[in-house]
Structure 1
C-alpha cells in the first residue's frame, strides 16, 4: 500500500444498504496497464491485519479472482464502499507512489443534521498521524441535498490530503458526523437509523478517483450509487 488514505458479487451495483456477506468476486470498474479498480462493498477489509487474520478481505478475494498477486494502492475504510485500486505487481505499485499526492477522489457521505452552509466549505483542521505527529489536512465539502424527517444531509467531500479517517473526522468537525460511523459518529442517532430505517453500514462511499502514474498514464474509475 502506498498511500495514507481514509481506510459484491460481480455486477452488483453500489447502494447504501448494508450487505456484509463476504463476496466471492469483486466487480471490475476499470483496468489498464498493470492496474485494476474494483467495487468494494461495505463490511469488507482492504487487507487483513494482526487482529483480523481470518476476516474476508478485498486483497484475498481479488487475488483468487485474478489468480495472481495484487497490491492495494490506498485505504478504504472497512464499512465504506466504493472505488478501490490495486497494482498488479510490486514494481507497478511503486510507480503510482508519487502521483498519489495529487490524487483526485470524491466521496459521498450521508450525515446527521441539516447542513447549514451553502457553497464549498474548506476544512483545514490538522490531524495526528500514526506516530502522534500533527499533519496538515484539507478537505472540500459541499451539500448535495437535505432531508427533514429525520434531519440529514448528503454531502460531497473531496480530500486534498490523505490522513487517517480524514473524511469522517472533517465532517464530524463541522458538526455533521456520518450516519453509521461507530468511531466518530453519534451513537444515539446511529441506533435510530439502524432500528427505524435499516441502515446497517456507515454511509460513506468513494464515488470516483483519478490518479496519474510517473509516466503520465492515468487511472480513472467511477462507481455511482443507485
Structure 2
C-alpha cells in the first residue's frame, strides 16, 4: 500500500487525472474498477474519480509493490543517454551556460531567453527543447525529483517558433502554470517582438485577417474571411528605425505587439504587406536571404520576443507580486548590424529595453 498526500502541485485537478499521471501504464477501465472496489480511496472513503483534489487530501492505493513497479514507470526526460548528452551540449551557445539565459526566476516561474534553433517543447524528433532543459536545470538544483514528475511536470506556458528567439515563460508550480495559461488565453499578458523586415514600412500599422493552417506543409495562410477553420488574428507595429544595408537593401526595425497568438502569425502578417522578415525561410525573400547569409552569416529569421508585460493580478493571486511588471530579453548578435547604438543592449547586459 502507498499513501499520497496532495500538495499544491497536485491540488486543483480531478482525482482520475492525477491517477492517470501516477499510474501511467494503467488503462482507464482498470483505474475506475480499482476506485469502485475501494482499492483506491480518498481521505479514507470510496471515490468516483471526479473529485477535485485539495491540498492536504490523502490518497491510499492498496496494491502490491510488484503492481506498483509495473504501473508506475518513471517519466523520461529524453529517451536515450546519447540524446540527453546532446541536450546538455546544446544548453550552451557561444560559450554561454544555460543559466546565463535566465532573465528572471523565482519559486513560481522562470523566464528564459531562447536562442535560435532550439525547440520550445519536444516534438518527438529527439531534439532538445527549452522545456526539457529547464527540467534538467531544476533537477540539478535539487528543486525537482523524478517522484514529483509522476504527478506534475513543470512546463513552458507559451511557445516560439524554433528559429524565433526571445522570452519563454516556464511555470514551476501547477498554480503558477495554470494562471499563466489563463492569462495567455485571455490575452492579458502583453507580448512584444523585435523584427527586422525588408523595405521601409509606415511609421505604424495594424494588420488583421484570418489565419488558416496547412499542417501537411507546416505553413499558414492569411485570408480575409473566417472560412475553412481560419482563426482571427491581429498584430500592430511601430517602426523604430529605417535604414539601408550594403548594396542598397532597405530595411525597417519594428516593435510588434502580438495581440492574438497563432502559429507563424507575425511572419505571415508582415509578409502579407510586402515587408517579410529578413532571414525567414518560409515567408521571406529567398534570394535576399541567401545574400544575407553570405554577407553576414544570417541563418534564421530576425524575429525576437523582446518583452513580456504582466497584467494587474488580483491581490489573492499567486502571481500578485508581478503585477504590471515588464521583463526584457536581449536580441541575439544577428540583430546588431541592423540596430543603431541607442537600441543595442549595454555590453554584458542580458536586458534590452526599447524606450
TM-score relative to the length of structure 2: 0.53
Q: Indicate the residue corresponding to 1:44 in structure 2.
A: 118
| Greater C-alpha radius of gyration | 2
2:156 to 67, 72, 89: 72
Distance in 1 of aligned mates of 2:181 and 2:113: 21
- Report the alpha carbon displacement of residue 133 of structure 1 after superposing the two structures with TM: 1.3
Q: Indicate the SS of the match to 1:126.
A: strand
Higher relative contact order (CA 8 A, sep 6+): 1
Q: Indicate the SS of the match to 2:298.
A: coil
| Contact 1:71–1:90 under 8 Å retained in 2 | no
2:251 to 152, 164, 177: 152
Write the deviation string for residues 36-63 of structure 1: whole angstroms up to 9, x where unpaired.
Answer: 101111111111113x2x2121111111
1:35 to 106, 109, 132: 109
| Contact 2:194–2:254 under 8 Å retained in 1 | yes
Q: Indicate the residue corresponding to 2:167 in structure 1.
A: 83
Could you tell me which runs of 5 or more consecutive residues in structure 2 were left unpaired when the two chains were aligned. 1-88, 93-97, 145-152, 216-227, 332-344, 346-355
User: Are residues 1:222 and 2:328 paired?
Assistant: yes
User: Are residues 1:205 and 2:304 paired?
Assistant: yes
Write the deviation string for residues 6-31 of structure 1: whole angstroms up to 9, x where unpaired.
Answer: xxxxxxxxxxxxxxx72242421112
Q: Indicate the SS of the match to 1:44.
A: coil
User: Are residues 1:92 and 2:198 paired?
Assistant: no
Q: Indicate the SS of the match to 1:92.
A: helix
Distance in 2 of aligned mates of 1:136 and 1:145: 29
Residues 1-226 of structure 1: pairs in structure 2 closer than 5 A: 22-24=90-92, 25-26=98-99, 27-50=101-124, 52=125, 54-67=126-139, 68=144, 69-100=153-184, 101-115=187-201, 117-118=202-203, 120-128=204-212, 133-148=229-244, 149-212=248-311, 215=317, 217=320, 218=322, 220-225=326-331, 226=345
- Report the alpha carbon displacement of residue 151 of structure 1 after superposing the two structures with TM: 1.3
Distance in 2 of aligned mates of 1:90 and 1:33: 12
Write the deviation string for residues 172-193 of structure 1: whole angstroms up to 9, x where unpaired.
Answer: 1111111111111111111111
For structure 1, which segment, 176-185 or 205-214, has the greater mean C-alpha deviation from structure 2 after superposition? Answer: 205-214
| Contact 1:123–1:139 under 8 Å retained in 2 | yes
Could you tell me which runs of 5 or more consecutive residues in structure 1 were left unpaired when the two chains were aligned. 1-20
Write the deviation string for residues 62-97 of structure 1: whole angstroms up to 9, x where unpaired.
Answer: 111121353111011111111111001344311222
For structure 1, which segment, 25-34 or 163-172, has the greater mean C-alpha deviation from structure 2 after superposition? Answer: 25-34
| Count of paired positions | 202
Write the deviation string for residues 180-224 of structure 1: whole angstroms up to 9, x where unpaired.
Answer: 111111111111110122212211101100234672623642113
Tell me the C-alpha RMSD between the 2 structures.
2.1
| Contact 1:180–1:201 under 8 Å retained in 2 | yes
- Report the alpha carbon displacement of residue 130 of structure 1 after superposing the two structures with TM: 7.4
Distance in 2 of aligned mates of 1:223 and 1:74: 15
Q: Indicate the residue corresponding to 1:14 in structure 2.
A: none
CA gap of 1:130–1:66, structure 2 versus 1, over 3 A, is: farther
Distance in 2 of aligned mates of 1:182 and 1:204: 12
* Structure with more strand by fraction: 1
